[in-house]
Structure formats: C-alpha cells, structure tokens
C-alpha cells in the first residue's frame, strides 16, 4: 500500500528564487493494494509532480510518502534500488522513452544488468517472453526491432512489460495513453485493468474523465495542487459536489451527450442540492444566517398585500 | 457548395519512392458546414488539409482538383495560391501556441500581416478589436508579446488573426488537443460562433478526438491510411456508422459511465499499413473483420443515402 501524507512540493521561482510556487500542497491519499486510483486534473494541477515524487525523480518539500510503511523520501543506495524493484513508472510519450539508435529490447537488458545479473540467458529469455505475453504482445513479432518499427501502443506495452520483469507492486501511469491512437488506446487501458488481478496497484494520472471512469475504483480531483474531491469513482461521477469538479464534468466532450444537455442537467442538480434559500450564494445581505443555507424560506406576508420569501428581509427604509 | 474536392491525390516524394498519403479523395462541403476530419495518426488528414493551403515539396499533387466557391484553387502553384491564402482559405495551425512571432508585439505583428496582404492596418483595427471582444480577449493583448499570454489566449488570438479577412474556408488542425478541457470547450464553441456569425463560411476541424467533433461538427469525414472511408452527418457517424473501420473506431471509445468490469471495450487489432508501398485495394482489408475477395479492388466512395458516403464493398456495393 502506498500512502501520501500531507505531501507538498514547492518550487522557488522568479529572478532570485524570491517567490514560491506551490505545485502540490498537503495532499493526503491512500492507494490500497490491487486498486487503480485515478488522479485527475488539468495542466498545472500538480498531478505529474505527485507521480514524479513517488518515483523519487524530484525531491519532496514537505510531508511523507510511505510505501508499505517505509518512508520513501529517506531511501538511499540499496534501499532505493529495492524500492524500484517494486515501484515503477510509465510516461506519456512512448517514442521519446527509447533511444532510437538501439533496438527496443534494450530496455529489458538494462533491467537485467541492474537487477538480475546472476540470471542465466535461457531463464532470462523465458522471463522476458512471459512479460511480453502478459502485456498481450507476441514475442516473436516484437523482439529484435527498432523503436520506429513498432507502433506507439506496442512501445507503451513494452514499457509496461519492462516494469513487470521486476517484482512490481505499484505502477505510476502518467498520461500513458494520451499519445496513442484511439484504436490502440483501449488495449493498453484494458491491460492496466488486467494487472489488478496480479494484485498490482496503479496510480493512473489523466486529464480525461472518461478514461478515469473506465479504469478506476477511486478517483481524486486535483486543482492547483490541492485535492478538491476524492472518493468512489462512481459516486464522484454521478454526483460531483465540488464546483470545480462540476465545471470539469460539464466541459469534458462526451460522445453520448452534448455540452448544452450536460449543463442543463448539472444546473437542475444544483437546484436540488440547495436545501436552503435559492439565492443564498449571491445574497449580499449582511444579515444572512446559516439557517438560510439549510431551510428554504417560505413566502410570508411582510406587509399587507406584499409577500417575501426571505428569512431576514432587508429592513424597511 | 463552398468546397468541392475531386479525385485529389497527393504523394510525398522521397528517395525510397512515393508515400501515397492521399489517394483520390472526393468530397464536397456545403456553405456553413463544420466538417470534422478524423482518423488515426498517419491516415492523411493533415496531408489533406495542408494540400488545400500550402502544397510544397516533398508533397506533390498527382491528380485531381479543388474548387472553392466554383473557383479552381491552383493548389500546386505556391505563388498563385498567395492570392487565396488568408483571404479565401485560412488555417489555424497545429500547435498554434507557437505560431506567433515571439519578438513582435501582437498588434505590430497583426499590422505587418495585414500590410503584406495589401490591407491598411488602420482601417482594419476597429474590426480587429471587435473580434477580440468576440473571443473575450482584452484589447490590451495587442500591446503584449505572445509570451505574456496563456495557451488558451494564444489559441484564441491566432484564431482571430487567421479569420480576420473573412475566409471562405478555415482549416483548424488539432486546435484543441493541447488545451485543458475547460479551455478546449471555450475554443471549440468560438469556432461554432465564428461560423454562426458568418465570419467564416465553412470549417474543416481536424482532430483525433471524436468526442470534440460530436460536440461541434455538422458532418464527419473518416479517413484510413490515405483513403476516405466514410462521410456522414455527425449523428450518423456516431450512432449508425456503416464502414467497418468507423464501427470499430466508435465502439473502442470509452464513454463516461462505462467501466471495464461491466462493459469491456476492445481495440482494433493490427496497425495501419505503411503508405510507401500500401496494399492494393481497400487498405483496411488486413484489419477488417468483414473482408472478402472483392476487397482487393479499391471500393468506390459512393453515396448510400442522402449525405452519407461510404467506401466499402459490403455496404451498398454489388453484394449488398
């Protein structure tokens, strides 16, 4: 299990590093074993920063990352190497993850020289073939090829296979299908869903809500480095409560509904939601109370022949 | 008819031979039509749109012609096209974010652009400002450098510049793919607004994102490996496609509300053929679940019902 405990990342920006940029602020999140959690947000929301901190690619400014109870930020040397045995990442652009001069299989050889130097050739080949088959590739078709001879989807699955060679428990999947074509996208996505059967947990970073819904049990919505809504994916999608999540839901282009219809639906939901005075959000009356928020005021007579639906009407001048 | 493309064939000439990126494409667009152009990477959608505005080597027109408002476009003649570019045909390029000159203030760049087309920038200024209001950009942007604008603002600025001369045809190449969902929605809607206000007559929106097209396009043209596969109204393409490729493509798209446990989607096995030496006949043949002997010949792109064209032997062909 991977746990983020009030995780923060601050960058120094400006000419002399005088001002601070809070990329991630106090994010607390738990990713249980065998679950896919999607991290959803727009660009600049800090979603990739979180992924990079988990992979120890950048330093943590505040808070902790705990992997099965071990503080990841403090790992060094052999400890860190053992951590990478269990935690790996796959990134957005499969084409630039490879060195075009070498054959694509080289990514496997690198794993071998670092982690499995004692393994015999035959044992290693069968291990690689096993991993390739696990990601739905035919080893005969894809081995011994250069990156440009393989499609984006195949390259991306290669990288997942590479991660599977290790004793993988946690995968950071950062926008792994946004560069792929629609026809191959879904295969990679299904593969992630299947990995759950191996008790693998995945942090699925995306800006596409429909992909998040397809793959994950839990979803977390980030806005400017803060978690604004988190929980059961189905609950968040069917009943988004944070205004930002709602805006996001209304903006996502969908194949089943037009934008106009989604907006009308959400507005209707908004009206149901407010149990109190419908004007509460825009009410400038200083006398407004918490009761206005919870109880909807009924029309009552303020003066003969003049009714008002407000618990604390403006004093007559 | 605002745009009519007849048998347009464009190859890329390379040392290893011709890359047959666009093979006898024929279609028409009505006035006020927003047409989505979709397909996998390398299917020729950008080749098609680029050849309508800037056909330069290694691209070569091998045949066919393009008519815009009943006037033939000299697409192979780079010089002669200058009379049409920006005025009749305009483009919002892919990654429009980097399309503006970083060393010029935007206002100065706009006036240089107008001067180069023989328009007095002073006369065009009121219209330019009105357009800025239309896309909800502050008029102050004219005194700013491109670097001072956010991605969505730059995208809108380029949109204003591209359409300043009220072109008849606007080509929008992947204009929303680098944007956040909320900005994406705003930009896409502005495109529709531009059409509604008759600033542009018709628009070709090139994207691989079908859901954006569902939101804004009137018709969708699907391409596969350099050939046209299907063109129909947006509703037909999404809900009742006829070409096997379109069917598979639409069914592989995840929708909000679909979870892998309940409804598992499947992709299209295989990958598109290389266009350097493409297979004879229908190029989707090898991946097509419905392929049969007739498919070794190129299927014609025929109208099976009003406004619905398909290139498949199984649909409306002699076997139907």
pLDDT tens for A222-280 read 988 889 999 999 888 888 888 888 888 888 888 878 888 888 777 776 666 667 777 77
- Determine how many CB atoms are found less than 10 A away from the CB of residue A275: 10
Q: What is the pLDDT of residue B318?
A: 45
Contact A181 B41 (CB under 8 A): yes
Tell me whether residue B310 is in a domain: no
Chain B CB contacts of A185 under 8 Å are 252, 267
Contact A248 B257 (CB under 8 A): no
CATH number of the domain at B58, please: 3.40.50.300
Taken in order of first residue, the domains within chain A and their CATH numbers are 2-238 (3.40.50.300), 274-308 (no CATH)
Contact B253 A255 (CB under 8 A): yes
B38 and B155 assigned to the same domain: no
In chain B, how many domains are there?
A: 2
Is residue B94's pLDDT more than 80? no
B147 and B271 assigned to the same domain: no
Tell me whether residue B314 is in a domain: no
Q: What is the pLDDT of residues B23-63, one digit of tens each?
A: 999 999 999 999 999 988 788 888 999 999 988 888 999 99
Chain B CB contacts of A183 under 8 Å are 40, 248-249, 252, 267-268
B11 and B67 assigned to the same domain: yes
By CB atoms closer than 10 A (0-12, 13-18, 19+), residue B134 is middle
B42 and B138 assigned to the same domain: no
State how far residue A125 is from chain B, nearest Cα, in angstroms.
25
Q: Could you write out the three-class secondary structure of chain A?
A: CEEEEEEEEEEEECCCCCEEEEEEEEEEEEECCCCEEEEECCCCCCHHHHHHHHCCCCCCCEEEEEECCEEHHHCCHHHHHHHHHHEEEECCCCHHHCCCCCCCCHHHHHHHHHHCCCCCHHHHHHHHHHHHHHCCCCHHHHCCCCHHHCCHHHHHHHHHHHHHHCCCCEEEEECCCCCCCHHHHHHHHHHHHHHHHHCCEEEEEECCHHHHHHHCCEEEEEECCEEEEEEEHHHHHHCCCCHHHHHHHHHCCCCCCCHHHHHHHHHHHHHHHCCCCCCHHHCCCCCCCHHHHHCCCCCEEEECCEEECCCCCCCCC
d(CA B205, CA B188): 10
Tell me whether residue B312 is in a domain: no
B34 and B153 assigned to the same domain: no
B59 and B179 assigned to the same domain: yes
Ranges of chain A whose pLDDT falls below 50? none
Nearest residue on chain B to A260, judged by CA atoms? B215
B159 and B136 assigned to the same domain: yes
Q: What is the pLDDT of residue B192?
A: 93
B172 and B161 assigned to the same domain: no
B110 and B49 assigned to the same domain: no
Tell me whether residue B13 is in a domain: yes
Mean pLDDT calculated for residue range B285-295: 89
Tell me whether residue B276 is in a domain: yes
d(CA B171, CA B221): 14
In terms of residue numbers, what domain contains B57? 1-88+168-183+195-255+265-281
B82 and B109 assigned to the same domain: no
Mean pLDDT calculated for residue range B288-299: 90
Residue of A255, A256, A263 best to disrupt the B interface, most CBs of B under 10 A = A255
Tell me whether residue B25 is in a domain: yes
Place of tokens 């009714």: A307
Tell me whether residue B246 is in a domain: yes
B78 and B38 assigned to the same domain: yes
B159 and B178 assigned to the same domain: no
Tell me whether residue B188 is in a domain: no
Is residue B118's pLDDT more than 80? yes
pTM given for the model = 0.80
Mean pLDDT calculated for residue range B144-163: 88
Nearest residue on chain A to B188, judged by CA atoms? A253
């Amino acid at each position: 299990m991977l746990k983020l405990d009030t995780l923060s990342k601050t960058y120094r920006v400006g000419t002399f590093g005088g001002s601070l940029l809070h990329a991630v602020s106090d994010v607390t999140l738990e990713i249980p074993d065998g679950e896919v959690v999607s991290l959803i947000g727009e660009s600049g929301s800090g979603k990739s920063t979180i992924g990079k901190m988990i992979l120890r690619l950048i330093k943590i400014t505040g808070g902790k990352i705990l992997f099965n109870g071990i503080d990841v930020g403090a790992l060094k040397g052999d400890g860190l190497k053992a951590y990478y045995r269990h935690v790996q990442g796959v990134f957005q652009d499969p084409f630039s993850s490879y060195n075009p001069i070498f054959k694509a299989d080289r990514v496997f050889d690198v794993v071998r020289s670092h982690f499995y130097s004692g393994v015999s050739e035959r044992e290693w080949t069968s291990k690689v073939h096993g991993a390739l088959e696990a990601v739905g590739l035919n080893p005969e078709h894809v081995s011994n090829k250069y990156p440009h001879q393989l499609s984006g989807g195949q390259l991306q699955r290669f990288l997942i296979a590479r991660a599977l060679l290790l004793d993988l428990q946690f995968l950071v999947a950062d926008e792994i299908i946004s560069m792929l074509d629609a026809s191959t996208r879904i295969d990679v996505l299904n593969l992630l869903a299947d990995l759950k059967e191996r008790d693998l947990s995945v942090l699925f970073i995306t800006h596409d809500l429909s992909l998040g819904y397809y793959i994950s049990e839990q979803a977390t919505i980030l806005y400017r480095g803060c978690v604004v809504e988190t929980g059961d994916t189905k609950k968040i999608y069917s009943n988004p409560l944070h205004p930002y999540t709602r805006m996001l839901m209304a903006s996502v282009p969908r194949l089943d509904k037009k934008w106009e219809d989604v907006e009308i639906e959400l507005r209707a939901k908004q009206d149901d939601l407010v149990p109190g005075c419908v004007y509460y959000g825009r009410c400038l009356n200083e006398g407004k109370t918490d009761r206005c928020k919870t109880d909807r005021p009924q029309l009552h007579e303020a003066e003969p022949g003049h009714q008002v639906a407000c618990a604390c009407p403006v004093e007559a001048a | 008819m605002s745009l009519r493309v007849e048998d347009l064939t464009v190859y890329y000439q390379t040392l290893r031979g011709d890359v047959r990126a666009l093979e006898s494409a024929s279609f028409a667009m009505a006035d006020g039509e927003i047409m989505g152009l979709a397909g996998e990477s390398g299917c020729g959608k950008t080749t098609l749109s680029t050849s309508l505005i800037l056909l330069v080597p290694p691209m070569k027109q091998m045949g066919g012609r393009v008519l815009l408002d009943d006037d033939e476009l000299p697409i192979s003649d780079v010089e002669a096209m200058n009379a049409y570019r920006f005025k009749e045909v305009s483009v919002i390029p892919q990654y429009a974010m980097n399309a503006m000159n970083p060393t010029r203030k935007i206002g100065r760049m706009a006036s240089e652009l107008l001067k180069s087309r023989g328009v007095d920038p002073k006369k065009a200024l009121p219209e330019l400002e009105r357009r800025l209001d239309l896309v909800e950009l502050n008029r102050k942007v004219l005194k700013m450098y491109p670097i001072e604008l956010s991605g969505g603002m730059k995208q809108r600025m380029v949109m204003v510049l591209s359409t300043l001369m009220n072109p008849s045809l606007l080509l929008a190449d992947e204009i929303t793919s680098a944007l956040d969902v909320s900005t994406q929605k705003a930009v896409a809607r502005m495109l529709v607004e531009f059409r509604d206000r008759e600033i542009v007559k018709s628009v070709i929106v090139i994207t691989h994102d079908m859901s954006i097209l569902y939101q804004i396009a009137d018709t969708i043209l699907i391409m596969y490996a350099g050939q046209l596969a299907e063109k129909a109204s947006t509703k037909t393409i999404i809900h009742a496609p006829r070409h096997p490729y379109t069917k598979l493509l639409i069914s592989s798209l995840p929708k909000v509300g679909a979870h892998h446990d309940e409804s598992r989607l499947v992709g299209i096995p295989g990958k598109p053929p290389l266009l350097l030496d493409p297979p004879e006949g229908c190029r989707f043949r090898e991946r097509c679940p419905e392929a049969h002997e007739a498919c070794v010949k190129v299927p014609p792109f025929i109208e099976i019902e009003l406004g619905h064209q398909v290139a498949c032997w199984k649909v409306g062909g002699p076997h139907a």
